[in-house]
Amino acid sequence: MKIGSTQIVETFAEAFGMRYCRVIVTAHDRYWLEAATRELCGYGSSVIACDAEVGVERWLSPDQSPDGRVGVSILAFGFSTEALGKAITNRIGQCVMTCASTAAFDGLPAGEERVPLGKQLRYFGDGFQKSKVIAGRRYWRIPVMDGEFLCEESLGVAKGVAGGNILIQGVDLPTTLDAAKRGVQAIDELADAITPFPAGVARSGSKVGSRYKGLRASTADPYCPTLRSRVESQVVDGANCVLEIVIDGATEAAVAAAMKASINAAAGPGVLAISAGNYGGKLGKFHFHLHELLS
Q: Do domains 2-15+160-294 and 18-158 have the same CATH topology?
A: yes
| Beta-strand pair 154-170/12-27 | antiparallel
For residue 281, the model assigns a pLDDT of: 81
| Sequence ranges of the domains in the chain | 2-15+160-294, 18-158
DSSP state of 10: S
Q: What is the pLDDT of residues 143-158, one digit of tens each?
A: 999 999 999 999 999 9
Q: What is the pLDDT of residues 80-110, one digit of tens each?
A: 999 999 999 999 999 999 999 999 999 999 9
Q: What is the pLDDT of residues 208-233, one digit of tens each?
A: 889 999 898 999 999 999 999 999 99
Per-residue pLDDT, averaged over 43-67, amounts to 97
For residue 283, the model assigns a pLDDT of: 79
Q: What is the mean pLDDT of the chain?
A: 97
Per-residue pLDDT, averaged over 118-123, amounts to 98
DSSP structure string for 185-227 = HHHHTSSSEE--SGGG-BSS-EEE--SSTT-SEEE-GGG-GGG
Q: What is the pLDDT of residues 247-287, one digit of tens each?
A: 999 999 999 999 999 999 999 999 999 999 998 887 789 99
Q: What is the pLDDT of residues 5-21, one digit of tens each?
A: 999 999 999 999 999 99
User: Which option is the CATH number for 2-15+160-294: 3.30.479.10, 3.30.420.40, 3.40.50.261, 3.30.70.520?
Assistant: 3.30.70.520
Give CA–CA dist 69/249, Å, rounded.
Answer: 26
Provide CATH code, domain 18-158: 3.30.70.520
